[in-house]
Structure 1
Amino acid sequence: MVARVRAGEVQLGWRQWGEGDVTVVFIHGNLASKDWIELAAPLFPSGVRVIGIDWRGCGESDRPPPAADFSNYSMRQHALDMLAALDELQIPFCHLATHSTGGIIAARMLLKQPERFGRVFALDPVTPLGMAFNAEQTDLFRKMMRSRELTRAVMATAAASLFVPESLAPNTVPRFREGLAEIQAFYERILEQTFGVSEGVWLGTPFNLNLERESGDLERRMAEIWHPHLVLWGEKDGWIAPVDLKTMAAAMPDCRLITVPGIGHSMNLESPALYAGYFGAWFGGLPGSEVAI
């Protein structure tokens, strides 16, 4: 049975792993879902309850038609959805784990209700600076909506270490490395989810990340985000600019940036055990979820 939670005018899919007094909420990235931590979750430390919530338009959540300006799929709207879901799930205080675009959604959550959150574990995050997409890059998302083959090729670059490097070249079919077994089967399943994502996410995310970049609203407020951050960047990540991460780490009062060798944009898919190790080191042994740090 699908678990869903009311968040304003939409219902969002959600899932829980583990039990405990420490609650961590996972905010996934673009074209993804809460399931992207499924292989890592059994390796998380005991005493930690982890809750993953699908964005509107993704996973098992509702898919409202996008507004002409994609305002109902903005980073602000995703953040408000998550806050409303936390209210409905009766989670007054928690920590956050984010991946990719989940990072900028979390930044809006932290600024909106700062006392509600503790630590943040950010994997290859889109920073509060947003991202710039030119017309060609935006058009790529349109083409991906119509082509499974293209989507497969582009999404492979988001988990680069799973594939034979030469097979990630343009106009080449991605080939998995040998011996991936469970990870390969899991990747195929979450890739299939991508094809069901709303147009509001496919086109709205690059549109709204451009707006975030152009406005500079969050960039100017980075110093206000006092929550302890552990930020991981895979050295094979071609999606997130390391200069943005360094700018964020310098601007935030408590932000540690680590470069991880041999990993691409999605450690949670590429090396679930390694992801769980960092996760456990950051969240294991913390005081109960009602206690701010």
Structure 2
Amino acid sequence: MPKVQAGEVQLGWREWGQGDVTVVFIHGNLASKDWIELAAPMFPSGLRVIAIDWRGCGDSARPKPATNYANYSMQQHAQDMLVALDALGIRYCHLATHSTGGIIAARMLLMQPRRFGRVFALDPVTPLGMAFNADQIGLFRAMMASKELTRSVMATAASSLFVPESLAPNMVPRFREGLGEIQALFDRIIEQTFVVSEGIWIGTPVNLTHERESGELERRMPEIRHPHLVLWGERDGWIAPADLRAMAEAMPDCRLVIVPGIGHSMNLESPALYAGYFGAWFGGLAASQSTAPG
């Protein structure tokens, strides 16, 4: 896979399509650019879609974490992405995000607002951040040592792929029948997850808690004027709908849509449905069309 230099790190990236309208995908925690690979062939023509791995994830470099994980903060990830866009020659684009990619995108939008147009946010961590206690961070540490535990926890991020009763505590998650390539991608994702940096495993919940406690981005939500389409799967047990409603109320141009029967990861659980929403939001835009705040 190709890599792009972003400051002191190299970031892995992938590209689909050759259109004049560019959309950059920012993935979630413990994830990678590959989470949209099944949906990408169904995106509309006219779109160039680029996905970039965070530092510590996928094909990107894994710097040693600082003691306080400051080099894996949401601000650092946002800065990495902006420098990567510079290196790739992308002066203006739209954003698609998933989960923690949402709060990284919020920082990008505030840092360089005129660089971006529309935002398509799937089950995003909002600018409010998230709070993790010591027990929850301890669970992430335990996942680092157990592929079985990692698979069980990650299954809850794609709950519609599994037989519901198999997601109960102390059960082994069992796929529904007939998933084919989706099941194969999920299994590959688990392998990727198990080798991310400690700066991701522990640094992400630590830094999301800092974001929640500081309230900085929460106060700045009215400044984010970019048109947002926010999707929340009604079976998502990770993102609090109250946070999404607060985001939709505070941001000037933000629409929240609740999708039945889907969990936290529509891009993996139902790639065709994800591509449909993606295409409805980005398809048909003129290359010169700028919907960024003036």
> Does the TM-score normalized on the shorter chain lie above 0.5?
yes
| Helix, strand or coil at the partner of 2:63 | coil
| Helix, strand or coil at the partner of 2:216 | coil
**Which residue of structure 1 lines up, in the alignment, with residue 206 of structure 2?**
207
| Helix, strand or coil at the partner of 1:221 | helix
RMSD over aligned Cα atoms: 0.5
**What is the distance in 2 between the residues matched to 1:291 and 1:61?**
32
**Which residue of structure 1 lines up, in the alignment, with residue 64 of structure 2?**
65
**What is the distance in 2 between the residues matched to 1:186 and 1:208?**
28
**What is the distance in 2 between the residues matched to 1:145 and 1:186?**
20
Could you give the per-residue CA deviations for residues 188-211 of structure 1, whole angstroms, max 9, x where no partner exists?
Answer: 111111011000000000000000
| Helix, strand or coil at the partner of 1:218 | helix
Could you give the per-residue CA deviations for residues 107-129 of structure 1, whole angstroms, max 9, x where no partner exists?
Answer: 00000000000000000000000
**What is the distance in 2 between the residues matched to 1:91 and 1:280?**
20
**Which residue of structure 2 lines up, in the alignment, with residue 11 of structure 1?**
10
**Which residue of structure 1 lines up, in the alignment, with residue 268 of structure 2?**
269
Matched, 1:126 2:144: no
Counterpart AA for 1:292: S
TM-score normalised per structure 1: 0.99
Identity of aligned residues (%): 79
Q: CA deviation at 1:219?
A: 0.2
**Which residue of structure 2 lines up, in the alignment, with residue 243 of structure 1?**
242
Could you give the per-residue CA deviations for residues 146-191 of structure 1, whole angstroms, max 9, x where no partner exists?
Answer: 0001000000000000000000001100000011111111111111
**What is the distance in 2 between the residues matched to 1:27 and 1:262?**
24
Matched, 1:278 2:248: no
**Which residue of structure 2 lines up, in the alignment, with residue 174 of structure 1?**
173
Q: Which runs of 5+ in 1 are unaligned?
A: none
TM-score normalised per structure 2: 0.98
The alignment covers a number of residue pairs equal to: 291
Please identify runs of 4+ aligned residues in structure 1 that moved more than 2 A. Answer: none
**What is the distance in 2 between the residues matched to 1:74 and 1:266?**
23
Counterpart AA for 1:84: V
**Which residue of structure 2 lines up, in the alignment, with residue 156 of structure 1?**
155
**What is the distance in 1 between the residues matched to 2:58 and 2:202?**
16
Q: Which runs of 5+ in 2 are unaligned?
A: none
**What is the distance in 2 between the residues matched to 1:140 and 1:167?**
20
Matched, 1:146 2:174: no
Q: CA deviation at 1:292?
A: 1.4
Q: CA deviation at 1:291?
A: 3.6
| Helix, strand or coil at the partner of 2:129 | coil
**What is the distance in 2 between the residues matched to 1:54 and 1:186?**
17
